[in-house]
Amino acid sequence: MDQSGNFKVLNLGEMAFIHLDVRCLYTLIICTTFGSMPSNAEIKVNPPQDFEIVDPGYLGYLSLQWQPPLFLDNFKECTIEYELKYRNIDSKHWKTIITKNLHYKDGFDLNKGIEAKIHTLLPAQCTNGSEVRSSWSETTYWTSPRGNLETKIQDMDCVYYNWQYLLCSWKSGMGVHFDTNYQLFYWYEGLNHAIQCTDYINVNGKNMGCRFPYLESSDYKDFYICVNGSSESHPIRPSYFIFQLQNIVKPLPPDYLSLTVKNSEEINLKWSMPKGPIPAKCFIYEIEFIEDDTTWVTTTVENEIQITRTSNESQKLCFLVRSKVNMYCSDDGIWSEWSDEQCWKGDIWKETLVFFLIPFAFVSLFVLVITCLLLYKQRALLKMIFHTKKEVFSHQETFC
């Protein structure tokens, strides 16, 4: 329509131009609207800074620590998390931890190297529905190498006797000089620093073991040990060990065993719980039962068991027991020594009869002999008195 109010007819060129303008305007609106929305592909976060493994001197208990990533100003309202992976270098499996902290502590085998990596995590609520991860930050840790591998101690053996006394022993490394001597250090959570053994087991002038003092509050914790050495001839490679004390407990053997034959078939085996601080619920027992020439073994968590006699004619029944800390109180353990053997032979009434008859026969014979001797002496005394009276009477008659 023109200014006079009349409709104006547009030619084809003008109509095409107007149509093009509308399309461009529509495209501009769409681009403006959706282009202003943030895209996950454009959201990035940096990895943590200053990632390192720190050794505080606890013989394998290390601290992995880091600082927040750079440029977090756009995510002040977000809770930043970190995914940490770590392992000893020869291990096939990574341990994975998700944490909001800037450090994490765990135990490692210092005989080997340690590797770790960490990256930053932005939760989905901060990134329009998808979690965003940074690239990895990586680090490694090795103890300072010292001495040849052959100089390390051999056959390290530690036993926690009756859950009370820890004793460790070892053998010298191969090819070490005669002047080599060893020192043991230990640490567990609760101690302020690593402690050196104060009571060594000395063999031919060398420290070949350690008797530990009372270890307060040391159960169910990682127990760290380092045995190093010194020699004027060459350096000695240190050895590191990690274990938990409840897994190397060796109890005392059970005692006061009893074997009772209730009837022709049923047999009752019973024993007393080993002495010491180990709770009754923590024991498992292994029983070796012998019936004539047959032996079989079974286990139980009770200190009593009923078994069935295989033959009424069996004449020899014996059993012995040993103990160990069970799976409810430890992951592993060491069997105690075997108890003394307790036996039953033949019918019990025959044993009882023989037991009483033999002493009774000896006592009866002794009483009989004593009685005979007394009667003999009494008879001799009476006879002597009779003869004496007779002589006196005869003498009186002669005098008259």
Look up residue 393 and give its amino acid.
F
DSSP 191: B
DSSP conformational letter for 202: E
CB 299 within 8 A of CB 284: yes
Distance of alpha carbon 371 from alpha carbon 369, whole angstroms: 5
Q: Which residue in 78, 83, 117, 76 sits closest to 98, CA to CA? A: 83
Considering the four listed CATH numbers 3.40.50.1260, 2.60.120.10, 2.60.40.420, 2.60.40.10, the one that applies to the domain covering 149-249 is: 2.60.40.10
**Residues linked to residue 154 through DSSP beta bridges, in sequence order:** 171
Quick one: tokens of 306? 């009923």
Beta bridge partners of 255: 272
Domains 52-141 and 252-349 share a fold: yes
Q: What angle do CA 269, 341, 282 make, to 5 degrees?
A: 60
User: How is the chain split into domains, by residue range?
Assistant: 52-141, 149-249, 252-349
Task: Confirm if 251 and 275 have CB atoms less than 8 A apart.
Answer: no
Distance CA 71, CA 122 (A): 13
Is the pTM higher than 0.75? The answer reads no
> E-strand spans in 100-222?
103-107, 114-122, 132-133, 137-141, 154-161, 165-171, 181-188, 195-196, 200-203, 206-211
Please give the CATH topology (third level) of the domain spanning 52-141.
Immunoglobulin-like (2.60.40)
pLDDT in tens, the chain (400 residues): 444 444 444 454 444 444 435 454 444 443 344 333 344 456 788 899 999 999 999 999 999 999 999 877 667 778 889 999 999 998 999 999 999 999 999 999 999 999 999 999 988 877 777 888 999 999 999 998 888 899 999 999 999 999 999 999 999 998 888 889 999 999 999 999 999 999 999 999 999 999 999 999 999 999 999 999 999 888 999 999 999 999 999 999 999 999 988 877 889 999 999 999 999 999 999 999 998 888 999 999 999 999 888 877 777 889 999 999 999 999 999 999 999 999 987 655 555 555 567 777 888 888 888 888 887 777 777 777 766 655 555 555 454 4
Fold annotation for 252-349: Immunoglobulin-like (2.60.40)
Neighbours of 358 (CB within 10 A): 10
- Contact between 316 and 291 under an 8 Å Cβ cutoff? The reply is yes
| Tally of CA atoms within 13 A in the half-sphere of 281 that contains its CB | 2
